[in-house]
Amino acid sequence: MSLNRAVRWGLSGFAAAVLTLAAPAAWAQEAADPNPGGVTLTSGFDVVSTYMFRGIQQHSTGIAMWPYSDLGMALHSGMGGVKSVGLNFGTWNSLHTGDTGTDSVAAGVGCACGKAWYESDFYATFGLGFGGGVGVGTTFTAYTSPNNGFSTVKEIAFKVSDDDSALLGKAALKPYAVFGFEFDTAPGLGQADGGAKAGKYLELGVAPGYAGSKASLAVPVKVGLSMGDYYEHPLTGTDNKFGFFSLAGVVTVPLGGTTSFGAFNIHGGAEFQKLGETTKFFAGGDDKRGIYSIGFGWTY
């Protein structure tokens, strides 16, 4: 299966790090929030050298551009067993200049060849916060391709996280685990690997970071694993358990402090990925990838 057929993927390590780790830390020491209500809007635009989704390469040439937007609603905050309840809706997109975007050629029936808009994702997350920094979130995501580069993927994911900042201070690791389950699939359709069976994904990671007065640094580390049929090899059908290992560094610099129009930042970083047998195949036989990113973010 070639890259511009049934393969697809959403938030990479870079986008997730920028959205959930670096930016909030950078703004933590800024002026009072101009929007202290229960609704928060976050948006941004990133440019990335190579788009990897859970270790699966999405283009061989060109660059990827990621416009995204998220609407968060704080539904509850209290001192009981459940400290907080939140709901998020958002969209994330990937525009490509290379072989799966503006330079794409016919790869099957319905291919919108030469179109840059490779991916458009829609998601909804319901999150609960408990004592001790423990959080549990449930996310539904529909990964779609406007240029028909891959078939629509539907996934339910559960994330368990622990913000151990109160206990460890600057040495906090903020560990988490993500369990993802694909559904509504058919052989070769609706799956991350384009394989024969719906996949079950496991991601384990930590997200240490440091927030300074003028910049913040996040150093997310994670490993992606198959709990069943997530990394099926296209040639052998073997479900390889190890998908990828990722080590990244993301620096975020706030621009002008918090204003009446919200808070703005620029961010950039580098990521190293070590690939498993299946993800190595999708990367053209290379078992390593270096990824570079720069972007702009806004929150209100």
- Is residue 195 in some structural domain? yes
1 in a structural domain = no
CATH number at residue 287: 2.40.160.40
Q: Is 223 contained in some domain?
A: yes
* Spatial distance between the Cα atoms of 144 and 142, rounded to a whole number of angstroms: 6
| 151: phi then psi, degrees, rounded to nearest 5 | -80, 155
Average per-residue pLDDT for the chain: 88
The answer, yes or no, to whether residue 26 has pLDDT greater than 60, is no
Percentage of the chain exceeding pLDDT 90? 75
The rounded distance, in Å, linking the Cα atoms of 141 and 213 is: 35
Which of 83-97, 108-122, 276-290 is least confident?
A: 108-122
- The amino acid present at 295, given as its one-letter code, is G
What would the DSSP string read from start to end of the chain?
A: --TTSS------HHHHHIIIIIHHHHHTTSS--S--SSEEEEEEEEEESS-EETTEE--SSS-EEEEEEEEEEEEEE-SSSEEEEEEEEEEEEEEESSTTTTT----STT--TT-SEEEEEEEEEEEEEEGGGEEEEEEEEEEE-TT-SS--EEEEEEEEEE--HHHHGGG----EEEEEEEES-BTTBSSSS--SS--EEEEEEE--EEE-SS-EEE--EEEEEEEESSSB-TTT--B-SEEEEEEEEEEEEEEEEEETTEEEEEEEEEEEEEE-HHHHHHTTT--EEEEEEEEEEEE-
Contact 99, 5 (CB under 8 A): no
**Whole-model pTM?**
0.88
Strand partners, 202: 179, 225
Give the pLDDT mean for 52-57. Answer: 98
Q: Examine the pLDDT at 298 and tell me if it is beyond 80.
A: yes
pLDDT at 27: 34
Q: How far apart are CA 76 and CA 128, in angstroms?
A: 9
pLDDT for res 17: 37
Q: What is the pLDDT of residue 24?
A: 36
**191, pLDDT greater than 70:** yes
User: Is residue 3 situated within a structural domain?
Assistant: no
Evaluate if residue 22 carries a pLDDT over 50: no
**Structural domain range at position 104:** 13-299
Assess contact for 159 and 136: CB atoms under 8 A: yes
Q: How confident is the model at residue 35 (pLDDT cuts 50, 70, 90)?
A: confident
Question: How many domains would you assign to the chain?
Answer: 1
Q: Cα–Cα distance between 251 and 258 in angstroms, integer? A: 18
Closest CA to 25 of 167, 214, 225: 214
Query: Above pLDDT 70, what percent of the chain?
Result: 86
Amino acid at 181: F
Please check whether residue 4 lies inside any domain of the structure.
no
CA atoms of 222 and 82, how far apart (whole Å): 28
Residue 144 lies in a domain: yes
Q: Is residue 7 part of a domain?
A: no
pLDDT at 16 over 80: no
pLDDT at 299: 95
Average pLDDT value for residue range 89-94:
98
